[in-house]
Amino acid sequence: MSSWYDAWADRYAEWSTGVTADVPFYVELARETNGLLVELAVGNGRVAIPVAQATGRRVVGIDSSPAMLEQARVRAVEEGVELDLREGDIRELEIEEPAALIYCPGRSLLHLPTWGDRRRCFERVAASLRPNGRFAWNAFAFDHHIASAIDGRHADTPLPHTNHHSVSDNRVDITLDDGGTGSLWWATKNEWLGLLDVAGLRLEALYGGFAGEPLDDNSPEYVFVARR
């Protein structure tokens, strides 16, 4: 997976230009927090840099892609903020002190292939939070109509790729023309709530959008906030 992200890294900033709705949401959570801030799947710092700017605090950012982390380092220097960037697997999260807020933007938890992988991630998050610390993330609310519509469809941006929908595995693959595949494994609301339960976390809020919209049948997004 990291090699797939490495291939996307050079075009990620261009692709994510329009992906901004989540930034104020995570910034506000960070502003409400006194203590260590940790971003999982930090990428090129798209969210971590605004969080650091808004809070004036160091943000620990973890990602498996060296190319993404290098972009984040360059951008953090350009923006004059402090990011503590670490290459690592979010399923094996280890930090030196309990965090006040751990968050995972960009629907990145959908890249974990199995419920067991997500369980390990959630358990490590719970172990890494201080009492009453928060864990926040967002993910697509699965729409089989959209998944079916993009099945087999080729796109040229941000890199030439083809989408494939595996109905039996609840998965969408994004295969680059020059090799490498990234995948999204969908999860239902109850699967996410089950992960909180087994990790010993409690749900604080579940929205259908980043402005706090109620979740309903037409919501394109799950936006979760939980506490230890």
Shared-domain flag, residues 9 and 65: yes
Q: What was the pLDDT predicted at 30?
A: 98
Give the three-class secondary structure for 140: strand
Q: What was the pLDDT predicted at 145?
A: 78
pLDDT band at residue 165, thresholds of 50, 70 and 90? Answer: confident
Shared-domain flag, residues 158 and 218: no
Shared-domain flag, residues 58 and 148: no
Structural domain including 150 reads 143-186
pLDDT digit string, tens, across residues 50-108: 999 999 999 999 999 999 999 999 999 999 999 999 999 999 999 999 999 999 999 99
Q: What is the mean pLDDT of residues 149-157?
A: 83
Whether 190 has a pLDDT exceeding 70, the answer reads: yes
pLDDT band at residue 199, thresholds of 50, 70 and 90? Answer: very high
Shared-domain flag, residues 176 and 63: no
H-assigned helices in the chain: 2-15, 22-31, 48-55, 66-79, 115-128, 144-150, 189-199
- Total structural domains within the chain: 2
Shared-domain flag, residues 6 and 93: yes
Name the percent of the chain lying above pLDDT 90.
68
Whether the CA torsion 214, 218, 222, 223 is positive or negative: it is negative
Shared-domain flag, residues 61 and 88: yes
Higher-confidence residue of 73 and 181: namely 73
Shared-domain flag, residues 32 and 17: yes
pLDDT band at residue 166, thresholds of 50, 70 and 90? Answer: confident
pLDDT digit string, tens, across residues 204-213: 999 999 999 9
Shared-domain flag, residues 147 and 133: no
Residue with tokens 């972009």: 71
Shared-domain flag, residues 164 and 82: no
Q: What is the CATH classification number for the domain harbouring 40? A: 3.40.50.150
Whether 34 has a pLDDT exceeding 70, the answer reads: yes
Beta partners for residue 174, in sequence order: 163, 182
Shared-domain flag, residues 101 and 71: yes
Whether 15 has a pLDDT exceeding 60, the answer reads: no
Q: Which residues contact 56 (CB under 8 A, 6 or more apart)?
A: none
Whether 149 has a pLDDT exceeding 90, the answer reads: no
Shared-domain flag, residues 164 and 86: no
Rounded (5°) CA angle 165-171-173? 60
Whether 9 has a pLDDT exceeding 70, the answer reads: no
Q: What was the pLDDT predicted at 181?
A: 79
Shared-domain flag, residues 57 and 119: yes
Q: What was the pLDDT predicted at 14?
A: 53
Q: What was the pLDDT predicted at 151?
A: 81
CB 170 within 8 A of CB 143: no
Tokens of 116: 């067991």
Q: What was the pLDDT predicted at 167?
A: 83
Q: What is the mean pLDDT of residues 124-140?
A: 97
